[in-house]
Amino acid sequence: MAMGKEGGGGGGEGGMSESVIRKVLVSYMYVAVWIFLSFTVIVYNKYILDPKMYNWPFPISLTMVHMAFCSSLAVALVRLFRVVDLPSSPAMTPQLYTSSVLPIGALYSLSLWFSNSAYIYLSVSFIQMLKALMPVAVYSIGVLFKKENFKSSSMLNMLSISFGVAIAAYGEARFDARGVALQLAAVAFEATRLVLIQILLTSKGISLNPITSLYYVAPCCLAFLLVPWAFVELPRLRAVGTFQPDFFIFGTNSLCAFALNLAVFLLVGKTSALTMNVAGVVKDWLLIAFSWSVIRDTVTPINLFGYGIAFLGVGYYNHVKLQALKAKEAQKKAAQADEEAGSLLQERDSHGDRKSDNQA
C-alpha cells in the first residue's frame, strides 16, 4: 500500500512538474511573440519613413493607415465574429465615450504621430534610449494628477534615469534637436494617456482589452489625425502626385501593428503587465544591437554608458512596482481570510444558538 502511495505521489509530482514546465514554456512563447512583433513594427516603421530607405516620410498618413486597418479589423472581430464582448457594467454610453474615450484617443493620436515622426530624424537605437524616460513621465504626471504619491526615493530614481538618458543624448553621433523634441513630446503624450486611462476608465470600473480598446479608440484617432493631415501632409502628397503606394508593404505593416495589439492582450492576460515591462527591456537591448549591427547606426560607448544608467533606474522602478503589487495582493488575501474567518465564526455562533434553543 505504501509503495502504491509513493508511486502515486511521484506520478502526481511528475504531472505537476510537467504542467508547470508547460505553463513556463507557453509564457516564454508569448514573450517571444510580443518581442518579435514589437521589434518588427518598430523596424518596419523606420524602414518606411526613413528617407534613406523606403523614403515615404509621411508619419501622419502611415498612422492613419494603421488606425483605419485596426478599426476595420476590430469592428469585424467585435460585431461580426463576436470574439470579445463589449463592456456592459457600466455600458459605453455616448456621454461616457465623449468624456472618457475621446481624450484618450486624442492623446494616443498625438503620441503615435510624434513617435513615428521621430524615425525620420533619429536612429532606432537612440529612440529606444529616449523611451527609457517613460517611467519618469508617468510618475511625474501621476503626481501632478494625484494618482501617485510623491516620494523622495522615487524622485531620486527618476532623476537617475533622466541623468542616464542625458548622457546617452550627449554621446549620440546623429543628434537632431527636432527628432529629440518629437520623441520627448510622444513620451509626454503617451504617459498622460496612461494616467488618464486610470482616471477616466479604470476608476469607473471600465476594463478594455486591446481589441475593444481599438474598437473604441482607433476610429476617433483616425478622426483626430485627419485635421493635421489635411494641413501638413495632404498638400505634400498632392505635390508628389506620382507616388504609387505598395499595398504589400502597407498591408503587412498594418497587419503587424494589429497583431502587436493582440500579442499585448495575450501576454498581459497569460502573464502580467510587469512581465511585459521586463520583456520590453530585453526588446530595447535587441533593437539597439540590431540598429548597430544591421542598420549600421552609430552607437557610441557614451551612448551605452548613459543608457546603462537609465536601464538600472528602470529596473529598480520595475522592482519597486513588483514589491508594491505583492504587498497589495498579500493585504487583499489577508482581508479575505479575515472575512472568511468572521463568517465562519458567525455561522458557528448561529448554529450554537439554534442548538441551545432546541435543547430548551
pLDDT digits (tens, 9 = 90+) for 190-236: 999 989 988 988 888 888 888 898 999 999 999 999 999 999 999 99
The pLDDT score that the predictor gives to residue 351 is 63
The pLDDT score that the predictor gives to residue 360 is 56
The pLDDT score that the predictor gives to residue 1 is 40
- Residues of the chain under the 70 pLDDT cut: 1-17, 242-243, 265, 268-274, 349-360
The pLDDT score that the predictor gives to residue 272 is 63
Please, how many CA atoms are within 13 Å of residue 275, restricted to the half-sphere of its CB? 19
User: Across the chain, what does the average pLDDT equal?
Assistant: 86
The angle formed by the CA atoms of residues 255, 103 and 149, to the nearest 5 degrees, is 105
CB atoms within 10 A of CB 110: 21
The pLDDT score that the predictor gives to residue 273 is 61
Question: If you count them, how many residues does the chain have?
Answer: 360
**How far is residue 351's CA from residue 129's CA, in Å, rounded to a whole number?**
65
The residues, ordered by sequence, that sit 6+ positions from 24 with a Cβ below 8 Å of its Cβ are none
The pLDDT score that the predictor gives to residue 7 is 45
**How far is residue 47's CA from residue 290's CA, in Å, rounded to a whole number?**
13
Q: Would you say 124 and 295 are in contact if contact means Cβ atoms under 8 Å apart?
A: yes
